Amino acid sequence: MAAGPTYIPLGMSTALQVLDAVPGTLGDWYWPRRDSLLDISEPWQSLVSFRPATSVQSAFLSGRVRDEFYFQKIEDGASPGMNADNYSVLIERFPFGYSTPEQFFELFRIHFFELNTHGIADVKPYDDDVDGPRWNSTDPTQVVGTILSWAGPVNAITRRLFADQASVLVSDATPTSLTVTTVHTKKDAGHPASGQRRWAIAERENGWLWTNVGVDRATDNLPRRLTAREFQLARDSVWAPLQTSVVNFVNERNGKARITAQFRTTLEWQTIQREWFKPSVEWMPDSGSPN
């Protein structure tokens, strides 16, 4: 007899069905230790409701063709489930010459493109002349508005997943965090997922926790005709190598880092929308898909 669905409270008023859960087996985390799961889920809650500030929306949409540039909103996703993932690294000692989380996070941003060269897709500025200088600004808050694009070497999965390329907008930035939102642009056929991702670093008792946390839904029911399994594997093939790259980057520079969590799951969007989805920013008119 097949096992029934798994339910976890996650601080909700009703139990939440886990449609698919794939825990990592690395470091200190294991499934289904409740305190760790709640620890991992906390960032998801703020990301689900995140929307770019009105000024950021306006700057992205202004002067651009309506059908070519728009936000791919998580609430407009096609899939009944919401992907939620967390790839984290504990840094016990920063690389030589760096002593604060702000310094390290700036180093992470400077080397971001280099760190993302080991997965199935590489990342680059959408427009070298516009987004390149903005990304490299010495003021982290000036990074907001940068468009980044992922494109992979052509193979059976990436041909269907990325089409031409998949883009995100840096929609919020602090000295210790970057948040990106999926967007449709003129140069790509749309992002296969709709939602948000955040890279951040925060102090913990035993060091500093670097996190790569995402929430999204498939833009189409089976994006680019990928199976659900292929779609999850594609995510892992982008974000797990980045996690390993961060660890190696720190350790090769006389720092000390290790993977602490590698977790992804699919949660019921209907329940998430009822329990967690409480945006405080309104979308501008005509900011989403025209279809």
**pLDDT for 245-290, tens place per residue?**
999 999 999 999 998 877 777 788 888 888 889 999 999 999 988 8
pLDDT score of 231? 61
More confidently predicted of 6 and 225? 225
Q: Which of 115-124, 143-152, 206-215 has the lowest mean pLDDT?
A: 115-124
Lowest mean pLDDT among 119-123, 157-161, 243-247, 255-259: 157-161
Does residue 118 surpass a pLDDT of 60? yes
Over range 42-56, report the average pLDDT. Answer: 91
- The pLDDT of residue 122 is 80
Q: Which of 216, 223, 233 is nearest to 272 (CA)?
A: 216
Q: For residue 152, name the pLDDT band (cuts at 50, 70, 90).
A: low
Q: Give the model's pLDDT for residue 44.
A: 85
Distance CA 144, CA 146 (A): 6
Encode 243-272: b = buried (16+ Cβ within 10 Å), e = exposed.
bbbbbebbeeeebebebbbbbbbbbbbebb
Shortest CA distance to 20 belongs to which of 199, 169, 218? Answer: 218
Burial of 195 (0-12, 13-18, 19+ CB in 10 A): buried
Tell me the pLDDT of the chain averaged across its residues. 79
**Among 280, 274, 281, which Cα is nearest to 10's?**
274
**pTM of the model as a whole:** 0.84
Angle at CA of residue 89, ends 84 and 92, nearest 5°: 155
Angstrom distance (rounded) from CA 175 to CA 106: 7
Name the residue among 71, 23, 69 with its Cα closest to residue 260.
23
Give the lowest-confidence range in 72-86, 223-237, 249-263, 266-280: 223-237
| Region 81-107 average pLDDT | 92
